[in-house]
Amino acid sequence: MALPQAKLTATQERLAGLAMPEAAGWSALPRAAALARVQAMGLPGRRDEYWRFTNPGDLIAPDPHPSRHHPTQKTPVFHEMDRVRLVFVDGVFDAAASDDPVLAGVEITRLAEAQDQNIHWAADLYGTLEAHGHEPVERPLAALNTAFATDGVLIRATARAAKPVNLIYLNKSDCSDAILHHVIKVEPGADLTILENGPAAARFNKVMEVDIADGGTFHHVRSQGRDHDRRAVTHMFARLGRESVFKSFTLTVNGVLTRNECVIELMGDHGVAHVAGACLGDGPDFHHDDTVFITHDAEQCESRQVFKKVLKNGATGVFQGKILVQPGAQKTDGYQISQSLLLDEDSQFLVKPELEIYADDVACSHGSTCGAIDETALFYLRSRGVPRAEAVDLMVLSFLAEAIEEIEAEEIREEIVTRLSRWLSRHRG
């Protein structure tokens, strides 16, 4: 079917400014296939149902909106943790700023250098989960990423990693337009934790494909903050084998336009997939969108979506979340909760929770709420001498707790709470 003219023009204009790497090696084929997908789908537009609540304009424009703000942080999040740091500056891997990519039971290769190497597992996986993720909803910005990614990292875990791998993004240029594509494979019984943080570029498009084999465990904690001009679209595609575990948590503060998509498919029995997010938005320029799609394709799997947003001074939060239970996926345990705490009447929360179930023996629940601060609880705190502003902060932390508790590692959980508390005390009123 031919694309509408406006969509075709927007897509052509954007594609005109992009080039694939000259020596793409094994990635040339999946890149070409991804480009064909983008051309067939067209880039998202305002009239697309899946972009009803979020204007993709800044994400598809030929040039990025310049970032005026280049934050430097003396003590970035996770800095006290023992981890392997991989640093990307404006979307390019910076070996000098990174740790030696050496970790027992884990192979780490830079995408831009891997394309001539014979890395079978990555060649098989690159773009595969993304290509699969367009059914039933198209995600053209992810296909664009597969086609034009300039860098990224390929990580294969074959055992329990002794420490997390931390992907750190830095933004130094006013108009960097970074496209990063990471591919992660967790082999049977292996266990890997990925941390992500930092402002990546003036505009950031990131895809992470995660393939978790039977009995594998993958944890992911991401902090999006500091970059007040952030315009970012990210996709996480995960495929889970039998008895495998996937847990992802994202903290989002600041930024202008952030769309985080997470597409998970439970392919083996007894798999567990949790995806959670806590978001704090302050001001009319803040727009944050969590879009989640979880497919149950096997029996006795558990999935949880826990998303909490605190919005004030005219901020906007979006949640689109779906649980799809395929025929035969019996004994599915699916849970989805999306809640917002609106601290004033100018902020808004737009939600589209969905359940689609084709199996008859499942337990699925979803809920969505939108509310103000509980005045009784606020009075309780104040009556004990806690000043109003601090009491509001405590109530906000209380509201976000269910999402934060999804982080399994206590050390990381405490770090996130500490960051949140500091952010709150800087953003009172």
Partner 1 sequence: MLEIKNLRASLEEEGKEILKGLNLTVEAGKVHAIMGPNGSGKSTLSYVLSGRDGYEVTEGAAELDGQDILEMEPEERAAAGLFLAFQYPVEIPGVGNMTFLRTAVNAQRKARGEAEMDAATFLKVVREKAKELKIDAEMLKRPVNMGFSGGEKKRNEILQMAMLEPKLCILDETDSGLDVDAMKLVADGVNAMRSPDRAFLVITHYQRLLDHIVPDVVHILANGRIIKTGGPELALEVEKNGYADLIEEAA
Report the residue number, 113 or 374, with the smaller CB distance to partner 1: 374
Residue 395 Cβ vs partner 1, minimum distance, rounded to whole Å:
8
> Do residues 317 and 281 make contact, with C-beta atoms less than 8 angstroms apart?
yes
Residue 82 Cβ vs partner 1, minimum distance, rounded to whole Å:
25
Residue type, 145: N
In three-state secondary structure terms, 11 is: helix
Containing 251, the helix (H) or strand (E) segment is: strand 245-253
Report the residue number, 94 or 414, with the smaller CB distance to partner 1: 414
Residue 400 Cβ vs partner 1, minimum distance, rounded to whole Å:
7
Report the residue number, 200 or 404, with the smaller CB distance to partner 1: 404
> Phi/psi at 371 (nearest 5 deg)?
-150, 175
Angle at 84 between CA 118 and CA 174, to 5 degrees: 90
- What Cα–Cα distance (Å) separates residue 180 from each residue in 32, 220, 247, 290, 367? 17, 17, 21, 19, 34
> Do residues 289 and 258 make contact, with C-beta atoms less than 8 angstroms apart?
yes
Report the residue number, 53 or 423, with the smaller CB distance to partner 1: 423
> Do residues 374 and 342 make contact, with C-beta atoms less than 8 angstroms apart?
no
Residue 250 Cβ vs partner 1, minimum distance, rounded to whole Å:
18
Report the residue number, 280 or 318, with the smaller CB distance to partner 1: 280
> Do residues 392 and 415 make contact, with C-beta atoms less than 8 angstroms apart?
no
Residue 414 Cβ vs partner 1, minimum distance, rounded to whole Å:
12
Residue 383 Cβ vs partner 1, minimum distance, rounded to whole Å:
5
CB within 8 Å of 86: residues ≥ 6 apart: 93, 98, 99, 101, 108, 153, 165, 166, 167, 168
Report the residue number, 79 or 413, with the smaller CB distance to partner 1: 413
Residue 375 Cβ vs partner 1, minimum distance, rounded to whole Å:
7
Report the residue number, 95 or 377, with the smaller CB distance to partner 1: 377
Between CA 353 and CA 132 the distance in angstroms is 22
Interface with partner 1 (CB under 8 A) = 374-377, 379-388, 390-391, 394-395, 397-402, 404-405
